[in-house]
Structure 1
Amino acid sequence: MVLAASAFIVAAVLSSAWITGQFTTPAVDRTDGYVSELAARNQPWTRLFRVSEVLSGLSCVFGVALVPRVAREWPGWLALAAFGLLTFAAGLFPLDCAALSDPACGRAGTSFAHRMHTLAGPLGTVAVLAAMVVLSLRWRSWVSWLFTWLSLAATLLTVAAHADRHGVGIAHRAQLTLIAVWLVYVAVHLLISDDDDHDHHQAAWDEPAITVNGTTGAGTWNSVAGGADGYGRPHVVEQGAGPAVLITAGPGGAWFHWDRVAGHLAGGRRRVIRFDRPGLGLSPRSPAPPTLYAEVARLAGLSPAHPERVTVLAHGVACWHAEAFARLHPLCVAGLVLVDPACAVRRRRLALGGSAGQWLPALGGTWGATALARLAGPAAHRLLTGEPDPSGAYSLGKVPLAVAGEWLARRDMAADLRLLRGEKPLPGVPVIVVSTGARDPCRQRLATMLGARLVRLPVSRRQVHLKAPEAIAEMVSAIPARGPGPSHRNP
């Protein structure tokens, strides 16, 4: 909220740079000349005013990108973003000369930039007026409506003055002043509404869970989630009956990537529990950055109650969470199946990871993140997995920011896991390390350290669970439902 408000204030200040031009560019008529004539190519301070206009437009777009999403406000923010882009274009393509102040301007023809400027200016005015109307309707604020009506009146006066060829400068300057003041009002409105939104997000933790039942090609499932795109309970899917199997996906993964594996396990009389980590899939965002111990606590909360044990199936970096869970909760684990585990290499902790993790979840709820996800998310998902996105999860703005947050937390998680390996022994339960692609020394060392059985699958390393679901399900089914005694050693 603060960054978005600051951006709108900067846009308002930069768009008011014409005030100084009244004294530095006397060739532009203050009564009958457009403000944009100050930035004409043949004026002495053209670069200053063009740069101010360009930066003003970019600041406006940046502010819209940082505004948190609110239901049914998107047309207003889209119009305001269009105004920022058109303002940017108007500064990028200046007038050739002072169109109204110089009678000789345009007699020899005009350039492409001149024509673009004359088109971008009116379109930008229409866009900002549309933004004023839509946001005023949503906010129901008499102050916003006051600026909207005054800006509309100033615009009509500018059009009438242009037709009369007199007083255009005065009306245009009044119009730009009202737009700049309205941008400051937008900033103030965001700052004031920030407190209410904070209270709403805190209350979202207490929202009741939403339970959905259905049937897919993988069998009958039960889905539980809370909240929406804000904060709340994680999305959990349970399927089948029998000894429990807990599946935790790799980086950026969602529950539906494991449909085929879950279907095989549920058909083999296993109760399969899948979930989406915060910000991924259908799980809402979390106000806290990801940590190894938070993921361990999540696995513990999803595991069945003692004395029943759970077999944990993990992929990629999530294998770290599964291993740490087994070390910290040895009586809860029947066995581990680690698919293409990431290597916890020794690197210095990343200071940026903790600080960035504090604000990345908030950015995931902004209009900018939503626009980025909807433009690139489905295509990127299909490119990486070769599969469609049936739930539309990768069109949500929270997902790319959650992926970035987990990537930034990798070094801290690896460091915590290395410390944990020296403090807590691994319980004597069956462990299988699945490796794909070429022979990997890192996974060989991990299997030796964990006393695990190393299995190599002749499939591509990327998304192995989508290409060999039967093989992975067989490995999980081979692990006894209850873990053996402490004397057990892995073959």
Structure 2
Amino acid sequence: MERRLYVLAASAFIVAAVLGSAWITGQFTTPEVDRTDGYVSELAARDQPWTRLFRTSDALAGLACAAGVALVPRVGREWQAWLALAAFGLLTFTAGLFPLDCATLSNPYCGRQAVSAGHHVHQLVGALATAALLASMVLLSLRWRSWVSWLFTWLGLAATLLTAAALADRHGVGLAHRAQLTLFAVWLVYVAVHLLITDDPPMPPPDLAGAAGPGGGPTGPHVVEQGAGPVVLITAGLGGAWFHWDAVAGRLAGSHRVIRFDRCGLGLSPHAPVPPTLYIEVARLAALAPSHPEHVTVVAHGVACWHAEAFARLHPLRVAKLVLVDPAPVAAREPSAAAASIGHWLPTLGGTWGATAVARLVGPAAHRLIVGVSDPYGVYRMGKVPAAVAGEWLARREMVADLLVVRAESPFPDVPVTVISAGERNADHERLAGALSAKLVRLPGSGHQVQIEDPGAVVDAVLDAPRTGPAG
């Protein structure tokens, strides 16, 4: 999967180089632009006959370059270089949206009247795009330490200086600019070739045990343990992290051994090479729970309630109690082949620069908006997290289908169950409580993040303490 991602990224850079070289045809279609003294970007000026063609090719070249950067697997200490290359792509796209009003150097009448703001925007973003690409060339050459990379970098710098000198002299600008753009296109092709010959970084194998120590194994899930006594195993909902349960764990740790963990790709756990399934999550719970004859109380939230119920049905002798916090509804729908195909790509996509950029731009704000608390550990700034959340969401239908099979084949054990229902009256929670002969606790004043808004309700359910207020 990683190799395919490198191929896609390399293809995007090659497409960017080809589209960015569309000016070659302009030498024949637009003879009004002086080949010796005229800017290449004058081919896309508003007063030229093929302006839409060259503007479109420039914009698409920029988008292809930015897409290539987004698909590149993340490598440590290279982020400045790829950020600069992404900036080049976006600036090139912007230049395509705001063309010159007229052929500045080829047309002696251009500029005699006031030009539009778009004309000035094009000139500014063109200069910034050149600076961004040169910065990327230098930074990647420093990291790759390749003489070929440095050769193209020095030639690109020389062509840029030659273009600036020709512009100051008002002669030979077209020749120098064409040489510069040719070298830039060749550089993009070289980047593509470099990615194609790069060895795949090893992907950690799936590890369902991961509970060898307090922090989990080197490739297993991140695990946190507190206290001593009967074991309480906490599994978070969709996109949840271990620290969301700090208040619950802190109150229970005085009398219980509390185990919290992050599923693959969430929190501080590494991503897995395969999409999540119900049986994988049940196996993970079984690995983290104490061995028989010791029993475990499982506290689950949201979609993790499906994992907890399946665990209880498949491992009935290991369960002491279930506490299902705001369980996700079980809606039987046909699994989607498209969702399964996308799900196989998501763990790999979570390690790309694109996923990292998305996470850093929107992750902390989205987390605060949804959960209502800050992210003190910065886990929602990691690209693997949105990919893992999307993967779990896409796997919902298949998990539900597997859960229905488990329900049909494995009876529910005779263990106490508490269903905590937040918000307005919920018919799905009532049906689940009836099917499991569970105690239903309603919290009409709480949102979906019960573990944060009302941790005492979860603690009381674990300890089987009486709860004041509306209850079922």
TM range (shorter): over 0.9
Q: TM-score, normalising length from structure 2?
A: 0.94
The aligned residue for residue 302 of structure 1 is 288
Q: SS at 1:413's partner residue?
A: helix
| 1:352 Cα offset (Å) | 2.0
**1:41 equivalent in alignment to 2:46:** yes
2:93 pairs with 75, 80, 88, which one? Answer: 88
Q: Distance in 2 between matches of 1:31 and 1:11?
A: 25
The aligned residue for residue 369 of structure 1 is 355
Contact 1:352/1:408, CA 8 A, preserved across alignment: no
| 1:209 Cα offset (Å) | 9.2
The aligned residue for residue 236 of structure 1 is 223
Q: SS at 1:312's partner residue?
A: strand
Q: SS at 1:306's partner residue?
A: coil
| 1:201 Cα offset (Å) | 2.1
The aligned residue for residue 344 of structure 2 is 358
Matches within 5 A, 1:51-450: 51-193=56-198, 195-197=199-201, 200-202=202-204, 222-224=214-216, 226=218, 232-267=219-254, 269-450=255-436
In 2 relative to 1, CA 473–209 (structure 1 residues): closer, same or farther, beyond 3 Å?
closer
Contact 2:84/2:136, CA 8 A, preserved across alignment: yes
Contact 1:243/1:271, CA 8 A, preserved across alignment: yes
Q: Distance in 2 between matches of 1:46 and 1:353?
A: 41
Q: SS at 1:334's partner residue?
A: strand
Q: SS at 2:317's partner residue?
A: helix
Q: Distance in 2 between matches of 1:322 and 1:303?
A: 11
In 2 relative to 1, CA 426–209 (structure 1 residues): closer, same or farther, beyond 3 Å?
closer
Q: SS at 2:420's partner residue?
A: strand
The aligned residue for residue 215 of structure 1 is none
| 1:24 Cα offset (Å) | 0.5
| 1:477 Cα offset (Å) | 2.0
Greater Cα shift, 161-170 or 331-340: 161-170
| 1:428 Cα offset (Å) | 1.2
Describe the superposition over 1:32-86 as per-residue Cα deviations: whole angstroms up to 9, x where unpaired.
Answer: 1111111111111010000000111111111111111111111111111111121
Residue ranges of structure 1 left out of the alignment (5+ in a row): 212-221, 227-231, 480-490
The aligned residue for residue 3 of structure 2 is none
Q: Distance in 2 between matches of 1:417 and 1:375?
A: 36
Q: SS at 1:246's partner residue?
A: strand
Q: Distance in 2 between matches of 1:57 and 1:69?
A: 20
Q: Distance in 2 between matches of 1:253 and 1:44?
A: 56
The aligned residue for residue 460 of structure 2 is 474
Q: SS at 1:438's partner residue?
A: coil
In 2 relative to 1, CA 65–22 (structure 1 residues): closer, same or farther, beyond 3 Å?
same
Describe the superposition over 1:62-119 as per-residue Cα deviations: whole angstroms up to 9, x where unpaired.
Answer: 1111111111111111111111121112111111111111111111222111111111
Q: Distance in 1 between matches of 2:454 and 2:163?
A: 68
2:238 alignment partner AA: P
Q: Distance in 1 between matches of 2:268 and 2:223?
A: 9
2:89 alignment partner AA: G
Q: SS at 2:37's partner residue?
A: coil
| 1:353 Cα offset (Å) | 2.1
Q: Distance in 2 between matches of 1:203 and 1:297?
A: 15
| 1:411 Cα offset (Å) | 0.7
| 1:155 Cα offset (Å) | 1.0
Q: SS at 1:335's partner residue?
A: strand
Q: Distance in 2 between matches of 1:330 and 1:289?
A: 26
Contact 1:290/1:405, CA 8 A, preserved across alignment: yes
1:261 alignment partner AA: V
Q: Distance in 2 between matches of 1:233 and 1:306?
A: 22
Q: SS at 2:56's partner residue?
A: helix
In 2 relative to 1, CA 202–378 (structure 1 residues): closer, same or farther, beyond 3 Å?
closer
The list of structure 1 runs, each at least 4 consecutive aligned residues, that deviate by more than 3 angstroms after superposition, is 202-206, 208-211, 222-225
Q: Distance in 1 between matches of 2:270 and 2:279?
A: 19
Q: Distance in 1 between matches of 2:121 and 2:427?
A: 60
Q: Distance in 1 between matches of 2:172 and 2:211?
A: 62
Contact 2:292/2:318, CA 8 A, preserved across alignment: yes
Q: SS at 1:251's partner residue?
A: coil
Q: SS at 2:203's partner residue?
A: helix
**1:459 equivalent in alignment to 2:445:** yes
2:203 alignment partner AA: H
The aligned residue for residue 469 of structure 2 is none
| 1:427 Cα offset (Å) | 1.3
Q: Distance in 2 between matches of 1:121 and 1:457?
A: 58
| 1:270 Cα offset (Å) | 0.5
Q: Distance in 1 between matches of 2:11 and 2:217?
A: 35
Q: TM-score, normalising length from structure 1?
A: 0.90
Q: Distance in 1 between matches of 2:207 and 2:164?
A: 52
Q: Distance in 1 between matches of 2:461 and 2:143?
A: 55
| 1:224 Cα offset (Å) | 3.5
Q: SS at 2:197's partner residue?
A: helix
Q: SS at 1:100's partner residue?
A: coil
Q: SS at 1:153's partner residue?
A: helix
Q: SS at 2:215's partner residue?
A: strand
Contact 2:211/2:287, CA 8 A, preserved across alignment: no
Q: Distance in 1 between matches of 2:172 and 2:278?
A: 67
Q: Distance in 1 between matches of 2:315 and 2:216?
A: 25
| 1:458 Cα offset (Å) | 3.5
Residue ranges of structure 2 left out of the alignment (5+ in a row): 1-5, 466-471
| 1:2 Cα offset (Å) | 2.0
| 1:380 Cα offset (Å) | 1.3
RMSD (CA atoms) = 1.9
